[in-house]
Chain A
Amino acid sequence: MPAYAKTVAAAIALWIAGATGQASAQVKVGAVLSITGPASFLGDPEKKTLEIYVDDINAKGGVNGQKLQLVAYDDGADANAARTFATRLVEEDKVVAMVGGTTTGATLAMIPLFEEAQIPFISLAGAIQIIEPVRKWVFKTPHTDKMACEKIFADLKQRNLTTVALISGTDAFGKSMRDQCVAVAPKAGITVAHEEAYGPRDSDMTPQLTNIKAKTGVQAVINPGFGQGPAIVTRNYRQLGITLPFYQSHGVASKQFIDLAGPAADGVRLPAAALLVAEKLPDSDPQKPVVVAYTRTYQQKTGQPISTFGGHAYDGLMIFVEAAKRAGSFDKAKVRDEIEKTKNFIGTGGVVNMSPTDHLGLDLSAFRMLEIKGGDWTLVQ
Chain B
Amino acid sequence: MRALLSHRLVPVVAMAAIVVLLPLLFSSAYYYRVAALVFVFALASIGLNLLMGFAGQVSLGHAGFMGIGAYAVAIGPTHLGVASWLSFVIGAALSALVAFVVGRPILRLKGHYLAVATLGFGLLLAIVFTNEARFTGGPDGMAVPRLVLFGSSVWGAQSWYWIIAASFLVGAVLALNLIESPTGRALRAIHDSEVAARVLGVDVAKAKLAVFVVSAIYASVAGSYLALLNGHVTPDVSGFLRSIELVAMVVLGGMGSIAGSLVGAALLVVLPQTLTFLHDYEHIALGLIVMAVMVFLRAGIVPTLARALDLRRA
- Given A73-B276, A109-B234, A172 and B37 touching (CB < 8 A)? no
Tell me the bound Cα distance from A92 to B138 in angstroms.
Answer: 32
Chain B residue with the shortest CB-CB distance to A172:
B139
Tell me the bound Cα distance from A112 to B133 in angstroms.
Answer: 22
Chain B residue with the shortest CB-CB distance to A103:
B140
Tell me the bound Cα distance from A294 to B236 in angstroms.
Answer: 34
A170 sits at the interface (CB 8 A): yes
Which residues of chain A in 80-123 are interfacial with respect to chain B, using CB atoms and an 8 Å cutoff? 80-81, 83-84, 87-88, 90-92, 103-105, 108-109, 112
Contact between chains at B232 and A109 (CB < 8 Å):
yes
Tell me the bound Cα distance from A73 to B12 in angstroms.
Answer: 35
Chain B residue with the shortest CB-CB distance to A127:
B140
- B contact residues, range: 20 to 34
Residues of B within 8 A of A171 (CB): 139
B194 sits at the interface (CB 8 A): no
Contact between chains at B139 and A105 (CB < 8 Å):
yes
A74 sits at the interface (CB 8 A): yes
Residues of A within 8 A of B237 (CB): 80
A175 sits at the interface (CB 8 A): yes
Partner of B130 from the list A79, A92, A108, A170 (CB cut-off 8 Å) is A170
Distance (Å) between the CB of B241 and the closest chain A CB?
8
Residues of A within 8 A of B37 (CB): 80, 84
The proximity string for B residues 18-44 relative to A, scoring 1 for CB distances below 8 Å and 0 otherwise, is 000000000011100110010000000
Contact between chains at A109 and B231 (CB < 8 Å):
yes
Residues of A within 8 A of B143 (CB): 108
A36 sits at the interface (CB 8 A): yes
Tell me the bound Cα distance from A179 to B134 in angstroms.
Answer: 10
A129 sits at the interface (CB 8 A): yes
Chain B residues touching A, majority SS:
helix
B226 sits at the interface (CB 8 A): yes
Which residues of chain B in 190-222 are interfacial with respect to chain A, using CB atoms and an 8 Å cutoff? none
Contact between chains at B140 and A84 (CB < 8 Å):
no
Contact between chains at B138 and A175 (CB < 8 Å):
yes
Distance (Å) between the CB of A109 and the closest chain B CB?
4
Interface size on A, residues (CB 8 A): 29
Which residues of chain A in 223-277 are interfacial with respect to chain B, using CB atoms and an 8 Å cutoff? none
- Given A73-B276, A74-B282, A79-B234, A87 and B139 touching (CB < 8 A)? no
Which residues of chain A in 107-151 are interfacial with respect to chain B, using CB atoms and an 8 Å cutoff? 108-109, 112, 127, 129
The proximity string for B residues 123-162 relative to A, scoring 1 for CB distances below 8 Å and 0 otherwise, is 0000000110100001111010000000000000100000
B283 sits at the interface (CB 8 A): yes
B304 sits at the interface (CB 8 A): no
B6 sits at the interface (CB 8 A): no
Residues of A within 8 A of B131 (CB): 170
Contact between chains at A36 and B283 (CB < 8 Å):
yes
Contact between chains at B232 and A88 (CB < 8 Å):
no
A342 sits at the interface (CB 8 A): no
B167 sits at the interface (CB 8 A): no
A55 sits at the interface (CB 8 A): no
Tell me the bound Cα distance from A79 to B29 in angstroms.
Answer: 18
Q: Which 7 A-B residue pairs are closest in the complex by CB-CB distance? A: A172-B139, A91-B28, A91-B30, A109-B232, A79-B234, A105-B234, A104-B140
| Chain A residues with a Cβ under 8 A of chain B | 36, 73-74, 77-81, 83-84, 87-88, 90-92, 103-105, 108-109, 112, 127, 129, 170-172, 175-176, 179
